[in-house]
Chains A and B, each alone.
Chain A
Amino acid sequence: MPDTSTPSVDPAAADLVAGMARVIGLELPDICLPGVIAGVEALQMHLGVLDAAEAEDRR
């Protein structure tokens, strides 16, 4: 039998991401949670790089 269970994720991160998804009209299926959380973390990392560059420009 294939494993169709949802991989475990940090409940707080899952709640946050599900809430963000609802804001844009998306009911997030549980199966998407790990990938979407990873995707949001990647975006956060890139926003941090951009912030650092802007701070460098202001100096």
Chain B
Amino acid sequence: MSIADIARGVASGQVSATALAEAALRRMRGEGREIAAATRVLDARALAKAAEVDALVAAGANPGPLAGVPFGVKDLFDVAGLPTTAGAAMLRDAPPAARDAEAIRLLEAAGAVLVATLNMDEFAYGFATINAAFGTTQNPHDRSRIAGGSSGGSAAAVAAGLVPFSLGSDTNGSIRVPAALCGIYGLKPTHEALPMDGVYPFVDSFDDIGPFATRVADLKRVWDVLGGRADAGSGMRVARLGGWFARNVCDELVQGVDAIAAHLGGVDTVALPQVDAARSAAFLMTAAEGGARHLPELRKRPLEFDPQTRDRLIAGAMLPASGYFAAEAFRARFRRAAEALFARYDVLIAPAAGEVAPRIDNPMITVDGKRVPARAQLGIFTQPLSFIGLPVITVPLYRPGKLPLGVQLVGKPGGEASLFALAEALEAARITGVSLPESGAMLGPKGDAVDAG
């Protein structure tokens, strides 16, 4: 059942927002906790908001385009009255947020109901959602595998059918990687296209927020409610990225991109220059900005950090300024190279992650023939793109019964309309699409909006 169907059902009185919220809260307390996707289940708040929506319906008022739709947010969005943990144990007792993040305010003004905060890598520094304090988020398609990160809880909650949509954040791939590994749609918008007020920062110059969903139309509806505006037209000149983006990719993913290209009647293969350096520059700027942000606490209480985050942040804080400025200068050159490519094309196709989700007991991937840690390396195809602020939708290859693989549709700044149009066309052709795991059928293909039990 789509978000539009749910909202229509609530607005017409066929189903109550309270019933939907109660069911979503039950799912979050059950499977949400089991797979370490949910960090806090917000019973009182959700039921109060749902009651408000039901009262509007009873009064004959318009409850909004997301009427009664339950959702969750990555644990770095401010939720009024709660500490914003950013996935860090040391912030569990931080002063509570005075108000909701602007994105939450907009969604609830449209009738949506916040039911949970969702797990992440500490301070969003990782691609695995392996969190020493809040647990490792399990992939709903195979619980022995990671969900990806850093917005792993947000992706897993949607892939498991716990909520129809969620919000995450993406600096280097933290929406796109977990969307790919969990087999759902994820949008990383043009830099600064969506409101960042009340979002715990990581790297200001390329942090963004965005939604996860199981349908392109759902993703677009949330984007619209959040005030997303795409002003670069909706052209459909498509190419696939070769070079860096054609290496370290499993055969099935190559075949998936081939199928997309064939559906479009064949597309050019093009290359961005020096993608390896773009990835390195993104890595360096992330380390430096992240390290600088957390240096005061690293000085005071280093042992309270997640060790895997702490040591990378400390190293980043020690990066000489010359290294940071070199990375920044390279970014300007790389942006110009991308602009030249986008003069000829509207959408570029690239892998999101090169292989299926790694196992939790051995979270490694293969890059250039070597086994390397997934936590730091899963973003090799995503980092070079967000680094220059490009919008991207990750789409899942449609492959029921198999572990998910995802593809990035990359646009020019402001080019989200082209991305939505192509994603809708591929979804309609069944080349891409979500196949939910059997265990998470509560908002599944049969469309049950509430618990069967």
Contact = CB atoms under 8 A, between A and B. Distances in A.
Given A35-B308, A49-B277, A50-B277, A43 B295 contact: no
Contacts of B312: 35, 39, 42
A39 B311 contact: yes
Contacts of A34: 311
Interface size class of A (residues with CB under 8 A): 20 to 34
A21 to B, nearest CB: 7
Contacts, number: 90
Residue from A28, A43, A47, A57 having most chain B Cβ neighbours under 10 A: A43
Given A35-B311, A43-B316, 18 more contacts: A24-B295, A24-B318, A25-B295, A32-B302, A32-B310, A36-B314, A39-B312, A39-B314, A39-B316, A40-B318, A43-B283, A43-B284, A43-B287, A47-B326, A49-B276, A50-B330, A52-B277, A53-B274
A40 B316 CA distance: 8
B323 A26 contact: no
Contacts of A49: 276-277, 279-280
B295 A26 contact: yes
Given A46-B284, A49-B277, A50-B277, A20 B330 contact: no
B135 to A, nearest CB: 19
A31 B302 CA distance: 10
Contacts of A57: 333
Interface of B: 274, 276-277, 279-281, 283-284, 287, 295, 298-299, 302-303, 307-308, 310-312, 314-319, 323, 326-327, 330, 333, 376
B280 A40 contact: no
Nearest to B322: A47
A20 to B, nearest CB: 5
B303 A31 contact: yes
Given A32-B302, A35-B308, A26 B314 contact: yes
Interface in A10-59: 17, 20-21, 23-26, 28-29, 31-32, 34-36, 38-40, 42-43, 45-47, 49-54, 56-57
Interface of A: 17, 20-21, 23-26, 28-29, 31-32, 34-36, 38-40, 42-43, 45-47, 49-54, 56-57
A31 B316 CA distance: 17
Nearest to B278: A53
Contacts of A46: 280-281, 283-284
Contacts of B318: 17, 20-21, 23-24, 40
Contact of A54 (B283, B302, B316, B330): B330
9 contacts: A17-B318, A21-B314, A28-B302, A35-B312, A38-B311, A46-B283, A49-B276, A49-B280, A53-B276
A50 B303 contact: no
A56 B27 CA distance: 54
A17 B274 CA distance: 30
Given A31-B303, A43-B284, A49-B277, A24 B317 contact: yes
B277 A26 contact: no
B311 A56 contact: no
Residue from A45, A47, A57 having most chain B Cβ neighbours under 10 A: A47
A46 B391 CA distance: 25
